[in-house]
Amino acid sequence: MHRSRAASSDLVQFFRKLDYLQLAVSGLLLAIGVVFIRSIGVQIGSPGALAYFSRQLTWITVGMAAYLFFAVIDYRRIQYRIAALVMYLVCLILLLVVLVWGKEVNNATRWLLIGGIRVQPSEPAKFAVIAVLAGLLASNSWKSKRWQTFLLSIAAVGVPYVLIAKEPDLGSALMLLPIYFSMLFVAGIKWRYVVIGFVGVLLVGIIGFIDYSREKPVLLRKYQRDRIRIFLDPKHDIQNRGHQPYQARLGVGSGGWSGKGIGRGTQNVLGFLPQMAAHNDFIFSVIAEETGFCGVAALLLLYAILLYTILRTAFFAPPYGRLLAVGTAIMFFFHIFINIGMSIGVAPVSGLSLPLVSYGGSFIVITMAMLGLMQSIRTHH
């Protein structure tokens, strides 16, 4: 009887502490994604395009299970019961396996076929890196053996970075860097290390620019050089690689104040945005064309509220929870910034999805799991 009352009390406390604003905003973003993925499928009309809608619903269902699991458990178990380390090692194994037996799509080997389902190991790897880094930077060893722990943290980021870049998926690999530096900053790294890191990044950028300017680049692969060229001027290869970003910009610009109406976007209907990209990489372009400035402003407001709720959770959390939340917020922010940037010409095409809105299996599930973890931090701090 006593246990039953205690369990009932814990359940009441759990529901009382839930971040309902974050829950509502997440639900609205998922609904927006589902509406436009279905709209795109109906417009294109092919069986393959229509299938994305039902698949997205399936992934959201799986994501809801992951959300509930991470929301209910005490997030501190991930730190103290080496669950983060196990998850990290599993992700490293999957990243190695994908290089050997992965499915190649568009000259990149990023996916594993497991039981007929495509899984992208780089997505859970981001989650695992955040969890491991949070454990390292919130540990006593960070306070007592800062230099050694700092080197260990570099290795924790560096190994998956190299493996993901090898696929090649430079966009996802580079995503690990702002996550790492932001978590280091929150953990209290000394300013001289921040300056050294900034200078290091600046030097890498200069070396990359020099390499890009050469006739035969040594460091950059051909597709990477092409992406930079097309980012700077999509008309450089308007018939091939420059076609998608150029048409995406036209779609955004033609939306006007209130858009053309859902299902009436000409860039998508007439096939200027390829079927394989409209529901994922360039879904923002479809939303902008069909809902205009008002719809885009509402979407950005929802994302701003979502990021606010995550950072609010970080502000009130103890060190480990704070680091988890900051890493999550930075990951979401850069996914949002780069995905939208691809459609408006301020970022090169990199294949990063728009959180909760773009079609995607692995990313939807991992995104919802991380949001569930934010609820756990809020209810257990």
**Residues 85 and 144 sit within 8 Å (Cβ to Cβ):** no
pLDDT given for residue 259 in this prediction: 80
> Does 262 score more than 90 pLDDT?
no
Structure tokens belonging to residue 183: 């978590």
H/E stretch holding 92 reads helix 83-101
CA dist 329 to 219, 284, 285, 337, 361, Å?
Answer: 31, 20, 23, 12, 20
The dihedral built from the CA positions of residue 306, 129, 367 and 259, taken in this order, carries a sign that is positive
Q: Is 354 helix (H, G, I), strand (E, B) or coil?
A: coil
Calculate the alpha carbon distances from 330 to 88, 181, 308 in Å: 19, 10, 11
Element at 118 (helix H, strand E): strand 117-119
pLDDT tens-digit map of 38-74: 887 766 666 666 788 888 999 999 999 999 999 998 8
**Top-confidence residue, 19 or 233:** 19
Asked if 182 and 332 count as a contact pair (C-beta separation under 8 A), the reply is no
Reduced to 3 states (helix: H, G, I; strand: E, B; else coil), residue 110 is strand
Among candidates 317, 371, 356, 349, which has minimal Cα distance to 134? 317
Whether the upstream peptide bond of residue 168 has omega within 30° of 0, thus cis, is yes
Residue with tokens 């900053």: 185
Q: What is the pLDDT of residues 301-325, one digit of tens each?
A: 999 999 999 999 999 999 999 999 9
pLDDT of residue 117: 77
pLDDT at position 83, please? 81
- pLDDT of 127 > 80? The answer is yes
10 Å CB burial of residue 317 (0-12, 13-18, 19+) is buried
Alpha-carbon span 351 to 262, nearest angstrom: 24
For Cα atoms 51, 54, 58, give the angle at the middle one, nearest 5 degrees: 130
What's the pLDDT score for residue 161?
92
CA distance 336 to 329: 11
The set of residues, in sequence order, having a beta carbon less than 8 Å from that of 373 and lying 6+ positions away, is: 70, 71, 75, 78, 324, 328
Is the distance from CB of 366 to CB of 126 less than 8 angstroms? yes
Confidence of residue 241 (pLDDT cuts 50, 70, 90): low
Give the per-residue pLDDT at 90.
93
108-114: strand order across its sheet: 103-105, 108-114, 117-119
Using DSSP's 3-state secondary structure scheme, residue 225 falls into: helix
Q: Which amino acid is at 46?
A: S
Q: Please give the C-alpha separations between residue 37 and each of 174, 277, 281, 332, 356, in angstroms, as whole numbers.
A: 27, 11, 12, 20, 12
Mean pLDDT of the chain: 81
DSSP H helices, 254-318, are 266-269, 275-278, 283-316
Q: Where are the domains of the chain?
A: 34-189+221-380
Rounded Cα distance between 120 and 55, Å, is: 16
pLDDT class of 346 with cuts at 50, 70, 90: confident
